[in-house]
Amino acid sequence: MIELTINGQSHSLEIDPDMPLLWAIRDVIGLTGAKYGCGISQCGACTVHLDGKAIRSCVTPVSLAQGKQITTIEGLDSKVAIAVQDAWQKLDVVQCGYCQSGQIMSAVDLLSSNPQPGDDDIDNAMNGNICRCNTYVRVRAAIKEAAKSLT
Ligand code: FES
Ligand code: FES
């Protein structure tokens, strides 16, 4: 039995300890905000938080997530998260949307640890989140907008 705490809710699941966390979140629990892109930690579409830090859930076995707080895009509710989501809307960041929950999860992690990131900080934090619609300029602007709103 695997015990997972996702967005504050406990789940007891009869699943393989090696199952990728993304599979458990999407296919077993039914939360579909985190997306499957590459499956090999190269695109960031599957990004969720484990104890507040952004991780790639496609390559994280559920056994490693036991006893930790897992947060998905559906459960984001911190002050930073709200500022990020507001900035995303204000600057109309999203195009097709497929990568965007991963982008937001990484941005919230960045701003939670570094409230006033510079361009290099943003590039370093976000360079694992690929966007085939090329929203990178708006993502960066929205992170700066969120940072400004939090001062
Ligand atoms: S699906 Fe996890 S990094 Fe691409
Ligand atoms: S908005 Fe389409 S992949 Fe990023």
Question: 107: which 2 tokens?
Answer: 């941005």
Nearest to 47 by CA among 18, 17, 70: 70
CATH 3.30.420.40 fits 2-75, yes or no: no
**3-state DSSP call for residue 15?**
coil
Q: How far is the CA of 97 from the centre of ligand 1 (A)?
A: 15
Task: Give dist(CA 105, CA 141) in Å, integer.
Answer: 16
Cα–Cα distance between 87 and 105 in angstroms, integer? 14
CATH class label, 79-149: mainly alpha
pLDDT band (50, 70, 90) for residue 97:
very high
- Ligand 2: which of 88, 93, 98, 104 to mutate, most ligand atoms within 8 Å of CB? 98
Beta-bridged to residue 101, according to DSSP, are: none
Question: Do the domains 2-75 and 79-149 sit in the same CATH topology, yes or no?
Answer: no
The model's confidence at residue 14, banded by pLDDT at 50, 70 and 90, is very high
What is the domain partition of the chain in residue ranges? Answer: 2-75, 79-149
pTM for this one?
Answer: 0.97
Pocket of ligand 2, candidates 42, 133, 136, 140: which has the most ligand atoms within 8 Å of its Cβ, to mutate? 133
